[in-house]
Structure 1
Amino acid sequence: MTEAVALRRAVAADARAAADVYLRSFDAALPTVVRPHTDDEVRDHIRDVVVPLRETWVAEAAGAGVVGLMVLDGESLSQLYLDPEWRGRGIGDRFVALAKERRPRGLSLWTFQVNEPAHRFYERHGFLAAESTDGSGNEEREPDVRYVWRP
Structure 2
Amino acid sequence: MTAGDRTVRLRRALPSDAEAAAGVWLRSFAAALPGVVRPRSDDEVRGHFRHVLVPARETWVARAADGDVVGVMVLEGEELDQLYLAPEWRGRGIGDRFVALAKERVPEGLSLWTFQVNAPAHRFYERHGFTAVERTDGSGNEEREPDVRYVWRP
TM-score (norm: length of structure 2)? 0.97
How far apart are the structure 2 equivalents of 1:96 and 1:149?
11
Matched to 1:106, the amino acid is G
Matched to 1:82, the amino acid is L
Moved over 4 A (4+): none
2:10 to 7, 11, 27: 7
**1:83-142 Cα distance to aligned partner (Å, 9 max, x none):** 000000000000000000000000000000000000000000000000000000000000
Q: CA deviation at 1:64?
A: 5.0
Structure 2 residues without counterparts, runs of 5 or longer: none
Instruction: Name 2:52's counterpart in structure 1.
Output: 49
Q: How many equivalent residue pairs?
A: 151
Identity %, equivalent residues: 77
Is 1:58 matched with 2:32? Answer: no
- Per the alignment, in what secondary structure is the counterpart of residue 69 of structure 1? strand
How far apart are the structure 1 equivalents of 2:77 and 2:101?
14
Instruction: Name 2:101's counterpart in structure 1.
Output: 98
TM-score (norm: length of structure 1)? 0.99
Matched to 1:45, the amino acid is H
Q: CA deviation at 1:63?
A: 1.3
Matched to 1:105, the amino acid is E
Q: CA deviation at 1:148?
A: 0.1
**1:3-46 Cα distance to aligned partner (Å, 9 max, x none):** 00000000000000000000000000000000000000000000
Matched to 1:15, the amino acid is A
Matched to 1:99, the amino acid is A
Matched to 1:132, the amino acid is R
CA RMSD of the aligned region, Å?
0.5
Matched to 1:52, the amino acid is P
How far apart are the structure 1 equivalents of 2:19 and 2:93?
23
How far apart are the structure 2 equivalents of 1:84 and 1:73?
24
Is 1:86 matched with 2:51? Answer: no
